[in-house]
Amino acid sequence: MTVQTLQIPAYRTFPVRVSRVQRLSPSFLRITFTGPELGDFSSNGFDQRIKVMLPLPGRGILDFPAGDDWYGAWRALPPERRMPIRTYTVRGLRPERGEVDVDFVLHGATGPASAWAERAAVGDEVVLVGPNARFPGPTGGFEWHPPADASCLLIAGDETAVPAVCAIVETLRPGQRAKILLEVPTAADALDVAAPDGAAITWLPRRPGGGAPPAPRGALLTAAVMAAVDELADVRTPTPGVVLDDVDVDAGILWEVPDEDLPPRRSSGVYAWLAGEAGVVKSLRRHLVQDVGIDRRSVAFMGYWREGRDSD
């Protein structure tokens, strides 16, 4: 590896401004960012994660730390000048036009990202931290790694996972059997997705409309995942005695993805990807791995956010 290669970071900062704001549904807002350096922004597609550094009230992005050690510089700032950083998914990328789309869930003015998105207007400035097209190796930052021979894909999540799931679904090959379960706030949040033959999407609105009471967060998703697992007989390859480490979702991050260093998985034929509120994902993990016996080397479990806790 040359010295020059070592100096190129896999992820870098991109100053951008809002070029379009599009309301997709009651809960989803698509924001298109543009910037002179976005020709060097890359994406692996799928659930490609990025960071959004949000402007501070009254200071905008004045304090945004440039340079390769942006994170060290950000941490060194006094707390009142540290711009909030949140994790999002690349929903669309057009490097030739210098454009990136990010779909924000509007969950109220309770967090800086959602509050910023609600008021976003053309010209507003933020900083994205994303994969660097000039980096010569794999940039990573995505967890969708199904084996080529998976007999069925089980993809499940809540609204925060919808952008990632939509991007994944659009890449499935026609004929690939896939069951996709998405819990969203309202029936009108069921987005148009180009799902190929073989992929069945079920939207699970917590507020179904017609005056019916809302379902508690996670209840519909949990029931639907359990039913799907029951249907997929080939997922059942019980390993008696599997006891999971307890992950404290209030103190840490629930992020359990197949480890390439583990011995090869048994061929269960099913690959699963689950993301959403950490407590919900944690209980699904316990059910799938401990109760059903699904091989954890075939499942990615990701807590995208935690109810009652900000992402700082």
Ligand X SMILES: Cc1cc2nc3c(=O)[nH]c(=O)nc-3n(C[C@H](O)[C@H](O)[C@H](O)COP(=O)(O)OP(=O)(O)OC[C@H]3O[C@@H](n4cnc5c(N)ncnc54)[C@H](O)[C@@H]3O)c2cc1C
Q: At closest approach, how far in Å is the CB of 85 from ligand X? A: 9
Structure tokens at 169: 């679904």
Q: At closest approach, how far in Å is the CB of 111 from ligand X? A: 2
Q: Is 240 left (phi over 0), alpha (psi -120 to 50) or beta?
A: beta
In the bound state with ligand X, the residue whose beta carbon lies nearer, of 146 and 276, is 276
In the bound state with ligand X, the residue whose beta carbon lies nearer, of 104 and 271, is 104
Asked if residues 162 and 36 have their Cβ atoms less than 8 Å apart, the reply is no
Nearest to residue 143, comparing CAs of 311, 270, 260?
260
Asked if residues 100 and 38 have their Cβ atoms less than 8 Å apart, the reply is yes
Q: At closest approach, how far in Å is the CB of 280 from ligand X? A: 12
Q: At closest approach, how far in Å is the CB of 54 from ligand X? A: 8
In the bound state with ligand X, the residue whose beta carbon lies nearer, of 52 and 229, is 52
Strands (E), the chain: 11-23, 28-34, 49-53, 85-89, 92-94, 99-105, 125-131, 152-157, 178-186, 199-207, 255-256, 270-277, 299-305
Q: At closest approach, how far in Å is the CB of 304 from ligand X? A: 4
| Positions in the binding site for ligand X (CB under 6 A) | 49, 86-89, 103-105, 107, 110-114, 159-160, 163, 304-311
In the bound state with ligand X, the residue whose beta carbon lies nearer, of 109 and 242, is 109
In the bound state with ligand X, the residue whose beta carbon lies nearer, of 70 and 104, is 104
Q: CA-to-CA distance for 156 and 281, rounded, in angstroms?
A: 10
